[in-house]
Structure 1
């Protein structure tokens, strides 16, 4: 009577099935790990320095790799567009990774603040306008902290003052140019000379007063107050006894009443 060898068909089939099952389990676990790593990388933000600009990168749906971040909302496109560095050192920033967009916003704000603050404080129109560009980008960062929001509001208040002063200066210049052109038109022989004279008569005095008021507002009233502080009046020394009550004035000489009768 013959016996079945342990190396028979059934044994080999079970062993093959077991190996296949183990392989599929390992393959599934590996695929799950790759998928999770891809999901984690897809939520990761980094920044890189390229051609003098700071570019925001977002991970791909793969374990590694990143591409330039392009938000689906067009209103956020300017917020995360490449930032001109203008000589700023961002080495530490480029070494960080951010798994949340709010964390990215909080990290980008100090850079935008550093770029904006000295420019809006310069008082020069071109630099103020450049600083305002960085402030507008900072306004679009929704994840900044309350302290950063207060700092942003403070800078916006400063730039509002400079913008208002520049607009007043532009208005003064336009009024001055308008008066000069009316005067030129009124002094030459042309079909508008009479109308120009009438306009000068009507608005000339008021326009000159307005021009002077604008000049004072821009060049005098808005200048920093550098006047010296008046010293405090000296205090009178107190009496040795500590009594601070005022002493009665000494009686003056009484007039001579004359000889008694």
Structure 2
């Protein structure tokens, strides 16, 4: 891709990732243990891992504590800075996920980022980039929103946590999200779009990129039923 993906654009615009990045861990505070347990169980030895879309590095830090070598990648400068401080031994790269170079990691972790890829072209570019980051036989671990359950949850009702309120509606296969941030005496609004995944579309793209062994299950450690945990190799 020659232009930034919609995910990369959101990373530098969304207050959640930039203006109010310091509140990220207050709002996204699911335990990292279930996800890391699920990933660790699939890795036979201390592995080299790319955390693609690492956020503030909570999952990376847990995997490092378990003996793995983790590198950090994100398009959000302030989140990446927090991740680097949390994981001082990890190499970092600020990069659009769709533009990841070819590499040879034993595993790649990617949580949530793929939901911000709106067009078919972006989705194909993102999956291709993740696949080419793996060594032959390496494993890709994904957390994505599932379309059917996401549609059911997109009821337009406000959901509030730590000064952050989101309202999500469904629009012909897309999630329209309106966020309000009431933090530090300021009120900020941000509107953006996500596109959840069907199992069939995700599995098809993974297999198109040489990842033939694909296992799909419910989200690991997620509070809501609209997430999938995907392992592909």
Q: TM-score range by the shorter chain?
A: under 0.3
How does the TM-score come out when normalised to structure 1? 0.20
Query: Which structure is higher in helix share?
Result: 1
Asked which structure has the greater RCO (Cα within 8 Å, sep 6+), the reply is 2
* Structure having the higher Rg: 1
